């Protein structure tokens, strides 16, 4: 369950002059032959995003150590995503608004229907995670734009992430890792880390304050990291986005959640999509001078103006757990022209561990 499965012989060995360590390439090299077409696409993606990542943050992360820490803390489930393991793939259409076009030259806002691949999931690395728990839901998107451009993002059902830097995420995971003798995290370690890093508790407090979502389509999804929207005149507007369900928020009482059991979200989504009811408004909260743009644990002030960038309608849900999502990892620095990353260190730090994650699950035989 908790083996690491990764050779550390090549740690620190790097083909690049950038500050991100490249030992994750060892994972990629271990892929079976049938994964090579994916591997080459992935490598091109990975290299280009490492280059982008190096330009936006100098924080050093060992992505292999990071993914090992996910496995050690949450268990290792072969063939599944190390985060958002229990998920379902869908397709959608996005139509951009006039306000979107004013803020950004990205072709996604053209007003034409843009095809989108969607993956809804329950937070954590356990593919049997309970749907009726007060925990994270995710909505990851890939917009397939004209000319082969793509825009990828992973959005979560909380306005904040569970850590503000990659080092803090690693520390938190290490503090939550079960002690081999007790098979449970050491409460003193957990407490000491949280006391020294109080922002790691914000997300859990948020989930505890909210009801269990009645549907993947009845909860808000936040991007949590800031991005810049750049228009054809070169004007740059920073903001943080939220996908808000058009039919409103719906939660379950504790009794209702218990009665629903641990596996209701997939069928519920299928029915709702059949009924044509799954639409989200893609809204951007506009940052103002002085707002913090480099932290996924500090939301923009609530009073910031919100504009609607467009509308996302989910049109079909895959029959089984496979579908178009299986061979995709949703890297938030895969951006179209007209959208740029902020200097949030959590953005730059994601491409490499995501590459390790997809490398491992494809090598193991990807389940979904
Ligand atoms: C350094 C910070 C982070 C690390 C190391 C990390 C790591 C990972 C990994 C390894 C996966 C599985 C990838 C795969 O197998 O395809 C994943 C999935 C995911 N992460 Fe992160 N993550 C980080 C930060 C964040 C943040 C800030 C968000 C908030 C928006 C986020 C949202 C997601 C979502 C929504 C998924 C599921 C995507 C899907 O359905 O494929 N992650 N993360």
pLDDT per position in the chain (368 positions), as tens? 333 322 221 222 222 222 333 333 334 333 333 333 333 334 334 444 443 444 434 357 799 999 999 999 999 999 999 999 999 999 999 999 999 999 999 999 999 999 999 999 999 999 999 999 999 999 999 999 999 999 999 999 999 999 999 999 999 999 999 999 999 999 999 999 999 999 999 999 999 999 999 999 999 999 999 999 999 999 999 999 999 999 999 999 999 999 999 999 999 999 999 999 899 999 999 999 999 999 999 999 999 999 999 999 999 999 877 789 999 999 999 999 999 999 999 999 999 999 999 999 999 999 88
Give the DSSP letter string of 17-82.
SSSS--THHHHHHTS-GGGHHHHHHHHHHHHHHHHHHHHH------HHHHHHHHHHHH---TTS-S
Q: Coil, strand, or helix at residue 268?
A: helix
DSSP state of 319: S
What is the signed CA dihedral for 331, 337, 341, 346, rounded to 10 degrees? 10
The residue to mutate among 226, 325, 354, 361, having the most atoms of ligand 1 within 8 angstroms of its beta carbon, is 354
| Helix, strand, coil abundance in the chain, percent, nearest 5 | 35, 20, 45
Tell me how many domains the chain contains.
Answer: 1
Residue 345 lies in a domain: yes
Residue 221 lies in a domain: yes
Q: Residue 276: give the domain boundaries.
A: 24-364
DSSP state of 184: B
Atom nearest to 154 CA in ligand 1? 35
Provide residues with CB under 6 Å of ligand 1. 66-67, 81-84, 87, 119, 121, 138, 140, 154-156, 161, 166, 169, 224, 296, 329-330, 346, 349-350, 353-354, 357-358, 361
CB under 8 Å to 51, separation ≥6 — which residues? 18
C-beta separation of 258 from 271 below 8 A? no
- 6 vs 109: CA distance, rounded Å: 42
Residue 2 lies in a domain: no
C-beta separation of 150 from 334 below 8 A? yes
Residue 330 lies in a domain: yes
Residue 36 lies in a domain: yes
- List Cα–Cα distances, 216 to 6, 50, 322, in angstroms: 34, 32, 18
Q: Is 155 left (phi over 0), alpha (psi -120 to 50) or beta?
A: beta
Tokens 């503000």, located at residue: 164
Long-range contacts of 258-266 (CB under 8 A, 24+ apart): 258/132, 260/131, 260/132, 260/212, 261/131, 261/132, 262/128, 262/129, 262/130, 262/131, 262/132, 262/133, 263/131, 264/131, 264/132, 265/88, 265/120, 265/122, 265/131, 265/137, 265/215, 265/216, 266/88, 266/317
Reading the block at residue 272, the tokens are: 């709702």
Residue 6 lies in a domain: no
Residue 10 lies in a domain: no
Reading the block at residue 204, the tokens are: 């859990």
Atom nearest to 356 CA in ligand 1? 10
Residue 9 lies in a domain: no
Residue 249: give its domain's CATH number.
2.40.180.10
Reading the block at residue 80, the tokens are: 């599944």
């Amino acid at each position: 369950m908790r083996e690491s499965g990764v050779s550390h012989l090549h740690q620190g060995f790097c083909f690049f002059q950038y500050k991100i360590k490249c030992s994750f390439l060892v994972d990629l090299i271990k892929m079976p032959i049938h994964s090579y077409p994916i591997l080459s696409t992935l490598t091109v993606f990975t290299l280009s995003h490492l280059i982008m990542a190096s330009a936006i943050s100098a924080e050093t992360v060992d992505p292999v150590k990071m993914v090992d820490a996910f496995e050690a803390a949450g268990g290792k489930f072969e063939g599944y995503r190390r985060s958002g393991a229990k998920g379902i793939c869908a397709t959608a259409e996005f139509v951009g608004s006039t306000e979107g076009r004013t803020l950004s030259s990205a072709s996604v806002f053209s007003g034409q229907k843009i095809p989108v691949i969607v993956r809804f999931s329950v937070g954590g690395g356990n593919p049997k995670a309970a749907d009726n728990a007060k925990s994270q839901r995710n909505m990851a998107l890939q917009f397939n734009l004209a000319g082969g451009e793509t825009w990828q993002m992973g959005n979560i059902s909380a306005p904040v992430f569970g850590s503000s830097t990659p080092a803090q995420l690693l520390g938190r995971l290490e503090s939550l890792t079960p002690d081999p003798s007790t098979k449970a995290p050491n409460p003193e370690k957990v407490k000491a880390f949280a006391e020294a890093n109080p922002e790691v508790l914000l997300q859990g407090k948020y989930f505890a304050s909210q009801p269990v979502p009645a549907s993947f389509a009845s909860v808000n999804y936040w991007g949590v990291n800031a991005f810049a929207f750049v228009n054809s005149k070169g004007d740059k507007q920073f903001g943080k986005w939220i996908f808000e369900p058009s039919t409103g928020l719906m939660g379950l009482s504790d009794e209702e959640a218990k009665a629903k059991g641990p596996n209701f979200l997939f069928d519920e989504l299928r029915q709702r999509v059949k009924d044509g009811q799954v639409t989200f408004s893609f809204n951007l909260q506009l940052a103002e001078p002085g707002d913090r743009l480099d932290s996924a644990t500090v939301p923009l002030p609530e009073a910031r103006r919100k504009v609607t960038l467009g509308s996302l309608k989910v049109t079909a849900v895959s029959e089984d757990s496979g579908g178009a999502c299986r061979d995709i990892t949703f890297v938030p620095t895969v951006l179209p022209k007209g959208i740029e990353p902020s200097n949030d260190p959590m953005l730059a730090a994601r491409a490499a561990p995501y590459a390790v994650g997809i490398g491992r699950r494809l090598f193991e035989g990807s389940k979904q």
